[in-house]
A = this chain, B = another copy of it.
């Protein structure tokens, strides 16, 4: 019901806007024609797929702060130059480097069986091999209730339910609690290590990695390992049979000091208001288990290809279009914070920001968080996008993507082209995030939506700030 009401409000505003602006359309017929042509060109173009194929094949996995991420920056710079961007810059920053290292984890009682696990980001090494009884917790709430010191000499296992699938990815935050804060309670309980059911909606034998949350400024001092959903099912069944469970694990994951990362910035300089910036992008880093195709090679490809197609128009749009390939997103939005800091004085000139970082499936909704006058512009763009199967949504989904959070916090207006994320968490942060999972046609729909939308905003005079 809420959804229908919102749609009704949008339509009402839209009718009002047409009335007010009848004498001067918010989008000119020339702009509309250019946008429609861009959309068609994008749908027929392989550029987006070619970019993500190149990134995943020529660079491979690219953990934030790694040598591979550095190669990815060089790749991004050369790509920007080859695609005709006016200015290409690498802005470096330093960061602490967490290295996964080698892990071995197996069931040792009631019998020997390999488990499919991976260390969670920020976890400590095991020093030597740990073999201990497992204390089973049905979910994160049960672990949260553990008494201080009650887990001495034990390995805690926190189960949970398979992540609920939804178009919006709404199940992630809930499922993610065991990954984020589980260690704080296991460590308080005195556990030797924590094992968690993977966050993720798939039932494949893949562990899902991801960063844990710091406790104030402190990282875990114990190993924390995610095991695949089928492995967690297995432990649950053994527990329900009252079988004593023992696990052996040896993990080498650790922090390794300061390293360099960086953001790659590709600009198409605006023809009339070059100081005004419409920022799009994705993140260049990936987790190290897969090759970062859907997370977030796709976002890099979609936004770079969209801007590159706009670059081929006879004339630059009025405002500057900036593609930011953020570094070190997975390990704490480090590139995003570095960008916001480095460009702090100039954020007032960032007229809009949005990121593609939710996979490679089709976009189904356009949402915005801009001022009422600008909402009229976004509504009109929504109408132009409708042949792509995209509907207009309201302002209830704030932010423009993870790397946009620091910009949105400083008042930069945002939109988001929401992708269907139903299957995203089947792949996200797993070894299975590889190129074969991307449908070139779905990716092209994304490029078409971004090209159309960003062109129209960049060529507009409408102020978007609330």
Give the segment of A358-366, A415-423, A428-436 that binds chain B.
A428-436
Pairwise interchain contact B204-A111, C-beta atoms closer than 8 A:
no
Given A53-B237, A205-B206, A291-B234, A59:B111 Cβ within 8 A: yes
* Shortest distance from the beta carbon of A63 to any chain B beta carbon, whole Å: 11
Contact B111 A230 (CB under 8 A): no
Known: A111-B71, A205-B290, A290-B205. A230 touches B59 (CB 8 A): no
Contact digits for A108-141, partner B, Cβ 8 Å, 1 yes 0 no: 0011111010000000000000000000000000
The CA of A233 and the CA of B437, in the complex, are separated in Å by: 12
Number of copies: 2
A436 touches B233 (CB 8 A): yes
Do B57 and A234 touch (CB < 8 A)?
A: yes
Which residues on the B side are within 8 Å of A116 (C-beta)? 431
Q: Is A64 an interface residue (CB 8 A)?
A: no
Which chain B residue shows the least CB distance to A100?
B114
Residues of B with C-beta under 8 A to A56: 234
Across the interface, A431 reaches (CB within 8 A) one of B203, B205, B237, namely B205
A68: B residues at CB distance < 8 A: 111-112
A58 touches B230 (CB 8 A): no
A435 surroundings in chain B (CB, below 8 A): 230, 233-234, 237
Shortest distance from the beta carbon of A53 to any chain B beta carbon, whole Å: 7
* B71 touching A230, Cβ below 8 Å: no
Query: What is the bound-complex CA distance between A436 and B203, given in angstroms?
Result: 7
Interface: A445 (CB within 8 A): no
Is A238 in contact with chain B by the CB < 8 A criterion?
A: yes
A22: interface (CB < 8 Å)? no
Determine the residue in chain B with the shortest Cβ distance to A434: B230
A229 within 8 A of B: yes
Q: Mark A196-235, 1 if CB is under 8 A from B, else 0.
A: 0000000111100000000000000000000001100110
Alpha-carbon gap, A46 to B94, bound state (A): 58
B436→A229 contact, CB < 8 A? yes
Which residues of B have CB within 8 Å of A110? Answer: 58
Q: Say yes or no: B204 contacts A432, CB within 8 Å.
A: yes
| A327 beta carbon closer than 8 Å to chain B | no
Chain B residues lying within 8 Å of A430, measured Cβ to Cβ, are: 205
Cβ contacts A279-308/B at 8 Å (1 or 0 each): 000000000011100000000000000000
A59 contact set on B, CB distance < 8 A: 111
Contacts of A60 in B (CB 8 A): 107, 111, 113, 234
Report the minimal beta-carbon distance from A204 to chain B, rounded to whole angstroms: 6
Q: Chain B: which residue is nearest A204 at the CB level?
A: B432
Q: Which residues of B contact A113 (CB under 8 A)?
A: 60-61, 291
Check: A345 CB closer than 8 A to any chain B CB: no
Contact B58 A432 (CB under 8 A): no
CA distance A431 to B231 in the complex (A): 10
- How distant is the Cα of A107 from the Cα of B243 in the complex, in angstroms? 40
Determine how close the nearest CB of chain B comes to the CB of A334; give it in whole angstroms. 22
Assess the B111–A432 pair: CB atoms within 8 A.
no
Q: A237 contacts B432, CB within 8 Å?
A: no
Complex Cα distance A167/B425, Å? 29
Of listed A204, A234, A431, residue having the most chain B CB within 10 A = A204
Report if A241 contacts B (CB, 8 A). yes
Chain B residues with CB below 8 A from A290, complex form? 205
Closest to A56 in B: B234
Chain B residues within 8 Å of A233, by CB: 434-436
With A68-B111, A204-B204, A206-B205 given, is the CB distance from A230 to B57 under 8 Å? Answer: no
A49 shortest CB reach to chain B, Å? 12
Per-residue interface assignment for chain A, residues 39 to 62, with 1 indicating a CB less than 8 Å from any chain B CB and 0 otherwise: 000000000000001001111110
5 interchain pairs, CB-CB under 8 A: A56-B234, A57-B237, A57-B241, A204-B206, A205-B290
The 10 closest A-B pairs by CB, nearest first: A230-B434, A205-B431, A60-B113, A57-B237, A203-B436, A205-B432, A230-B436, A204-B432, A60-B111, A233-B436
Seed contacts A205-B206, A230-B435, A233-B436; 7 additional CB < 8 Å A-B pairs: A57-B238, A59-B111, A60-B113, A68-B111, A204-B204, A230-B432, A237-B435
